Amino acid sequence: MRNIKLHLQYDGSAFHGWQVQPNADTVESQLKAAIDRILHEPVRLQSCSRTDSGVHALDFCCNFKTASDISVEKLLRGLNAVLPQQIAVTRCETADEDFHARYSCKGKCYLYRIWNAKTRNPFLLDRALLYPFALDEKLLDSAAQAYVGTHDFAAFCAAGASVKTTVRTVYSCSVTREEEMVTFSVTGNGFLYNMVRIMVGTLLDINEGKLPAGSIPAILAQKDRTLAGRTARPEGLYLARVYYEDGEWNEP
Amino acid sequence: MRNIKLHLQYDGSAFHGWQVQPNADTVESQLKAAIDRILHEPVRLQSCSRTDSGVHALDFCCNFKTASDISVEKLLRGLNAVLPQQIAVTRCETADEDFHARYSCKGKCYLYRIWNAKTRNPFLLDRALLYPFALDEKLLDSAAQAYVGTHDFAAFCAAGASVKTTVRTVYSCSVTREEEMVTFSVTGNGFLYNMVRIMVGTLLDINEGKLPAGSIPAILAQKDRTLAGRTARPEGLYLARVYYEDGEWNEP
């Protein structure tokens, strides 16, 4: 059996998230149907993560085993021909036998885009959070540095999520501005359910004075979801990179 | 009567162009309905130009006369509240009595965006031309300099258009690349029907060797539409700026 590794991009506003669900159009169900149509073989997909409804991917990775000897070039072209336009396969490779999109993953980078203007941008509907209030990106960049390091992120995990441990390492994060576009960027070894959206919601609560600028260390220490800020809406969130080599996130 | 000047942005993929048409959803018909809903007054709109179905605007200008004494702030907020999300009013001002969005216009800048990659970008569907072949932006930038100046652009005007003169002045144009995104930018005092799309189509024909790189001066001189290249698809085209002051296009 060959182990095929795919990298995808998708516009999450067109789908009910990644994972197969009954009676909902998801990226995984579209991809499974497309693979079945090309290879005439139902496959089991392993994915780097799940994304929620409305969340986008600039670089999502998944893998599957197949008996087919189709060339990776032909598979890539075939999948792009039959997938909905809102999904693109950007890379298709034969991976090592033991490669697993989830367990082999060493790190991920997420972006959260905020359109900080009084009026909407028609080209960013469902692609960024519209935030019409004054936003102090320097204050938020400084506050966000408290996320860096190895912490128990229990306060930044949606209630009801079941995981073995809520300890994660954030390698770096930043809040930057280019005119009206403010971007929160975070790289880490793994992320809990809704973690990035709660990190952003907490920063927005700090921006609005609902939480003190220096409150993040205490929120982390108390591990209580109710102490962190709101969960920011999904449309600003992009899974931007998945890393399978240690330290790859430090490369330019 | 006050003369109200509006600047708009819109995603052209949602509409059948600017101009009111029977049985079609257009930007003008949406804007007229929105103004009527706020001011309870049908108005006559003057616009800087018309855009075709699928063509976008980053800065479109129109004006209308009204007896209303509504503040421009309230009018802007009201229009944005009732317009479809794919249209945004970015500025609303009281203009001089003799301001006319079309006749007062001194120049315009158009952008044409080309996604030059083997695979589609799900975030640029209907927002850029997908062009999967090798594209030599330096060759095209050099060829495009022949558009600059005052010329009879009859060869770059869709057949059947009726205008007094087909002479226009192009102030500047360029073809630039940022990774996979190639942008054709052109500024001039006015543009004929489909002129920018035929300018781009001619450059793509040059890129593909269907026309010699130095052919543009002869095409201009012969004034024959059949000698110029194809009409590039609408989705890459953006009306990017409208200028009402002479030389404003030279400002940084």
The pLDDT of residue A45 is 96
User: For residue A160, is pLDDT > 80?
Assistant: no
Q: Do B119 and A89 touch (CB under 8 A)?
A: yes
pLDDT of B144 reads: 98
Angstroms from A121 CA to nearest CA on chain B: 7
Mark yes or no for CB contact B85/A122 under 8 Å: yes
Helix (H) or strand (E) holding B28: helix B27-39
Assess contact for B34 and B83: CB atoms under 8 A. Answer: yes
Q: What are the chain B neighbours of A82 within 8 Å (beta carbons)?
A: none
As a 3-state breakdown, chain A gives helix, strand, coil percent values, each rounded to 5, of 30, 30, 45
Nearest to A125 among B56, B86, B121 (CB): B86
Residue A32 CB neighbours (<10 A): 17
**B235 close to B128: Cβ distance less than 8 angstroms:** yes
Residue to substitute from B9, B119, B121, interface A, most A β-carbons within 10 A = B119
The alpha helices in chain A, defined as continuous H runs, are: 27-39, 72-82, 137-144, 195-207, 216-222
Is residue B164 exposed (0-12), middle (13-18) or buried (19+ Cβ within 10 Å)? Answer: exposed
Stretch (H or E) spanning B74? helix B72-82
CA dist list (Å): A89 to A17, A43, A97, A136, B120: 17, 17, 21, 37, 9
B9 touches chain A (CB under 8 A): yes
Of A24-28, B9-13, B185-189, B246-250, the one with minimum mean pLDDT is B246-250
Q: What is the mean pLDDT of residues A47-56?
A: 94
Task: Kindly state the DSSP code that residue B102 receives in the 8-state scheme.
Answer: T
- Using only C-alpha atoms, chain A has a radius of gyration, in whole angstroms, of 19
Contact B4, B72 (CB under 8 A): yes
Helix, strand, coil shares, percent, chain B, to 5: 30, 30, 45
- From the number of C-beta atoms within 10 Å of its C-beta (0-12, 13-18, 19+), residue B238 rates as buried
For residue range B169-220, list pLDDT tens digits in order: 999 999 999 999 999 999 999 999 999 999 999 999 999 999 999 999 999 9
A52 catalytic per annotation: yes
Residue A186 has pLDDT above 80, yes or no: yes
Residue B101's pLDDT is 97
pLDDT tens digits, one per residue of A202-216: 999 999 999 999 999
Test mutation, A59, A119, A125, chain B, max B CBs within 10 A: A119
The pLDDT > 90 percentage for chain A reads 92
CA atoms within 13 A on the CB side of B35: 24
- Choose the catalytic residue: A11, A25, A36, A52: A52
From residue B103, how far is each of A13, A123, B49, B52, B106 by CA, in Å?
Answer: 41, 28, 10, 20, 8
Q: Which residues of chain B neighbour A12 with C-beta distances below 8 Å?
A: none
pLDDT > 90? residue B162: no
Per the structure block, which two tokens stand in for A85?
Answer: 């336009």
Confidence of residue B251 (pLDDT cuts 50, 70, 90): confident
The verdict on a CB contact (< 8 Å) between A119 and B86 is: no
Per-residue pLDDT band for B40 (boundaries 50, 70, 90) equals: very high
Under an 8 A CB cutoff, do B122 and A76 touch? no
Read off the pLDDT of residues B70-118 as tens digits, 9 standing for 90 and up: 999 999 999 999 999 999 999 999 999 999 999 999 999 999 999 999 9
Size of chain B, expressed as the number of residues it contains:
252
Q: Which domains does chain B have, with CATH numbers?
A: 2-95 (3.30.70.580), 110-240 (3.30.70.660)
Q: What local confidence, expressed as pLDDT, does residue B159 receive? A: 79
Residue A196 Cα to chain centre, angstroms: 8
Cα B13–chain centre separation: 14
At A187, which helix (H) or strand (E)? strand A181-188
Q: Residue B74: what pLDDT?
A: 97
Please state, in angstroms and as integers, the Cα–Cα distance from residue B86 to each residue in B12, B67, B186, following that order.
Answer: 8, 28, 25
Res A55 pLDDT > 90: yes
C-alpha A124/C-alpha A235 separation (Å) is 9
On the CB side of A130, how many CA atoms lie within 13 Å of its CA? 11
* Chain position carrying tokens 């995603």: B11
Q: What is the pLDDT of residue B171?
A: 97
Residue of A nearest to B121 (CA): A88
Q: Give yes or no for residue A103 having a pLDDT over 80.
A: yes
Q: Which of B100, B107, B105, B125 is nearest to B115 (CA)?
A: B125
Q: Supply the pLDDT for residue A23.
A: 87
User: How is residue A17 written in tokens?
Assistant: 């998230």
**Model pLDDT, residue A54:** 95
Mean pLDDT (chain B) is 96
**B86 in A contact zone (CB under 8 Å):** yes
What is the total residue count of chain A?
Answer: 252
**Chain A residues with beta carbon closer than 8 angstroms to that of B90:** 119
Give the integer Cα–Cα distance in Å for B116 and B154: 29
Q: How far is CA A3 from CA A23, A64, B102, in A?
A: 29, 6, 61
pTM: 0.94
Write the Ramachandran bin of A158: left for phi over 0, alpha for psi from -120 to 50, otherwise beta.
beta
CA–CA dist B123, B146 (Å, integer): 33
